[in-house]
Structure 1
């Protein structure tokens, strides 16, 4: 059974890249767009520029955990694409969480 709150279709990604907005932070880049649904959809990406598969998977895990910790304060009805920068390599989860929180605060999506 597929989870409904995960972005999968190429059309969705293309729409977010073309129509959505982006914010850059130290460890991540955030692309976002309003989706008019009663839940958020998200995707966590790390390109080969970040490192080998172990490092890329760790970067995605760090972003997923950070999102999970911030999720209760995030407004509903958005699509998010979180992209890891190559500066994320040796960072702790707390550092990634701060970077993600700063990006979400800049977008005014997070409720404080």
Structure 2
């Protein structure tokens, strides 16, 4: 995923948490904030230390980035999206994580049909 599609600064994360909407399932928590001045969506990932060692956390982030890269054309609005991974993601493969992410985005009507 290119740098222009990532949220990096703490201030941007905090504004998404404060002003955005949230929804979740057992594996992922998603915060999103519509940004009309952007051309595309941006993603920020958060995987806590309770989930596992660095290898496990980086694998989860890699899977989430790849899923967003594949779903990128289907995302409806220019958004800032922050994803927080929960503990069950450490035992999931790529297809399971992508399915969970797609389900959440579809449920919240952020994906095109």
Aligned-residue offset at 1:26:
2.7
Which residue does the alignment assign to 1:29? 29
User: What 5-or-longer segments of structure 1 have no aligned partner?
Assistant: none
Asked whether 1:57 is paired with 2:33, we answer: no
In structure 2, the residue matched to 1:66 is 67
- After superposition, the C-alpha distances for 1:55-100 in whole angstroms (9 at most, x for unaligned) are 1011101111111121111113100011111101121111111110
Distance 2:94 2:70 in 1: 10
Unaligned runs of 5+ in 2: none
Aligned residue-pair number: 111
Give every structure 1 segment of 4 or more consecutive aligned residues whose post-TM-superposition deviation is greater than 4 Å.
none
Partner residue, 1:85: 86
Normalised to the residue count of structure 2, the TM-score between the two structures is 0.91
Contact 2:13 2:44 (8 Å CA) reproduced: no
- Partners of 2:30 and 2:89 in 1: CA distance: 14
The alpha-carbon deviation at position 29 of structure 1 amounts to 1.0
Are residue 7 (structure 1) and residue 2 (structure 2) matched? Answer: no
Q: CA deviation at 1:5?
A: 2.0
